[in-house]
Amino acid sequence: MAERIGVVGGGIVGVALARALTRHGLGEVTVLEKERRLALHQTGRNSGVVHAGLYYAPGSLKARLCAIGRELTREFCAEKKLPYREVGKLVVAVTSAELPALADIEARATANGVPGLRRVNPDELRALEPHAAGVAALHSPHTAAVDYTAITEAMADDVRQGGGRILLGHEVTAISTVPSGVRVVTPTDDFTFDRLIVCAGLQSDVVARFVGASASPKILPFRGEYWALAPARQHLVRGMIYPVPDPRFPFLGVHFTRGVYDDVHVGPNAVPALAREGYTWGRISARDTWASLTWPGAAGLARAHWRMGAKEIAASLVKRLYFAEARRFIPELEMADLSHKTAAGVRAQAWDRSGALLDDFAVDPVGAVTLLRNAPSPAATSAMAIADHVIDTYVRVRR
C-alpha cells in the first residue's frame, strides 16, 4: 500500500515538495492550502528574482541549495516555456566606505561559485547601467527574473498529473498523532497521513505548536513595500541595481528590479508588520503584535536593530525618505518617478529566544512530521532544491 503523505502549504516550496514526491513515486500526495489559490503570500509577493548566490555563507544550506535551485528553475522554465530573463544584477558601492563590504560579498560569491561574477569600475558600471552612480560594483550576469506564481501553478499541474491532490480552502486547525498515522483537521475535512511535511511560511510556528514542537524559532513578519517606476522613466534601469547590504541586517535594502514582464519596481524596504499577513499599516492583529512584543527575544532584537528599524519605518511613512534612499543609486531619479505603491509582501523571518534572526534554512523533524521552520529568500529560487533536500534527508531515511 502506498504511503499517504500530506503537505501543508501551497506556496512554491510546498508545491515543489509535492511535485518531487509524486515524481519519485514516494506515496499518495495531498497538498492542503488555506487560501483559494496557490502562491498567494510570500511566493506571489516577492521581487521575482532568481538569485545567483552572492550573499550567503559558503557551505550553508542557503548557498548550496540556491546554486542547485537556480539551475533547476532555469531548466523547469525552459521545459514549461515559462519566461526566464537573465537581466543581470549590479551590487553597487556608492561610496568608498562601502568597498570593504563589497569585497566581503565578492569573496562569498566567489566561494559560492556564482557564475560570471566580476568586479567592475565606474566606467564599466556606466556601460552596464548608464544612469547608475557608484565607485565600484559586482556584476552577476546570470541573475534572472521569473514569474514565481506561474512556476508554482505549472508545478501544481505536474502534481495533479502525477496523481496527487491539491485542496484549496483547507486551513489546518489541528494536528495529532493517532494509531493509524498523523491526523490533520481542517474546517471541512479530516485527513490521516502516514507522513506530514509542513511548509506553512508565515504560519509555520503556529502549525509547529500543533505537533508539540519547540516554540522557537518564532516567525517575525516583516513587510516589504514596493514603488513602481513610472513607465516613461523605466529606461533608467536596464536590469537590477542593488545596494551593498548591511551585514548586521538580514535584508538587502531598497533596490531596483526589472521584472520578467519588463516592469520596473523599487524596493522593498523592511518594516515590522502588525499582523502575520499585514500587507498594509491598516492590517493589524493585536494577537500577532502582542506575541511579537512579548517574545523573550524582543528586547534583544530591539537593542540590536532599533536604528535600522526606525529608518525603515520612517521611509515607509514618508515618501521623500524612501525616494532619497533610492536616488543614491540613480541621481537622475525624481520624486514623481515613483508613481505608485504596488502590492506589498511579508517575509516570514524566524528569530530565536535571544533575539537573533535566523539566517539559514531550518528544518525540524518531529516524529512523522517534518517542519520547515525558516525558509526566507532565496527559498523561491531554491524551492526545487529544498524539496530534494527534504526528501533525501528526512523522507527516504525514515521509510
Which of these, 396, 344, 341, lies nearest to 365 by C-alpha position? 396
Q: Is pLDDT of 250 > 80?
A: no
83 within a domain of the structure (yes/no): no
Verify that 364 and 315 share a domain, yes or no. no
72, pLDDT greater than 90: yes
CA 44/CA 114 separation, integer angstroms: 25
Domain presence at residue 124: no
- Regarding whether 246 and 174 lie in a shared domain, the answer is no
Residue 89 has pLDDT above 80, yes or no: yes
Reference 38, options 217, 168, 183; nearest CA is 168
The verdict on 292 and 331 lying in the same domain is yes
Domain boundary among 333, 351, 369: 351
- Which residues lie across from 144 on neighbouring strands? 50
Query: What is residue 249's predicted lDDT score, i.e. its pLDDT?
Result: 66
pLDDT (mean) for 50-79: 97
What are the tens digits of pLDDT across the range 356-397?
888 899 999 999 999 999 998 999 999 999 999 999 999 876
Task: Give the per-residue pLDDT at 313.
Answer: 87
Confidence of residue 2 (pLDDT cuts 50, 70, 90): confident
Q: Both 323 and 179 in a single domain?
A: no
Looking at residues 83-90, what average pLDDT do you find?
98
Nearest to 195 by CA among 13, 369, 33: 369
303/386 same-domain check: no
Q: What is the mean pLDDT of residues 250-272?
A: 89
Residues 156 and 12 in one domain: yes
Within this chain, do residues 177 and 160 fall inside the same structural domain, yes or no? yes
Residue 8 covered by a domain: yes
Q: Which of 153, 60, 65 is nearest to 108 (CA)?
A: 60
For the CA atoms of 35, 39, 40, 42, what is the dihedral angle to 10 degrees? Answer: 130
**Is residue 61 assigned to a domain?**
no
Do 206 and 274 lie in one domain? The reply is no
Give the pLDDT confidence score for residue 1 in this predicted structure. Answer: 66
What total of structural domains would you count in the chain?
2
How does pLDDT run across 266-323, given as a tens digit for each residue? 989 888 899 999 999 999 999 999 988 898 888 887 887 777 788 888 888 899 999 9
Query: Are residues 208 and 317 located together in one domain of the fold?
Result: no
Q: Do residues 208 and 240 share a domain?
A: no
Domain match, 312 and 178 both: no
Q: Which three cell numbers stand for residue 305?
A: 536593530
DSSP SS3 for 279: coil
Maximum alpha-carbon separation in the chain: 68
Instruction: Give the domain extent around 18.
Output: 4-45+149-217+359-398
Judge if 276 and 333 occupy the same domain. Answer: yes
Question: Which range has the worst mean pLDDT, 114-118, 173-177, 243-247?
Answer: 243-247
- pLDDT over 60 (residue 399): no
Q: Per mean pLDDT, which range of 17-31, 39-53, 242-256 is the poorest? A: 242-256
Cα→Cα distances 142→67, 187, 254, Å:
11, 45, 21
**Residue 159 belongs to domain with CATH number:** 3.50.50.60
Residue 14 lies in a domain: yes
211, part of any domain:
yes
Percent of the chain whose predicted confidence (pLDDT) is above 70: 98
Q: Is residue 125 part of a domain?
A: no
Query: What CATH number does residue 235 fall under?
Result: 3.30.9
52 located within any domain: no
- 338: confidence class by pLDDT, cuts 50, 70, 90: very high
pLDDT digits (tens, 9 = 90+) for 201-243: 999 999 999 999 999 999 999 999 999 999 999 999 999 999 9
Residue 398 confidence (pLDDT)? 58
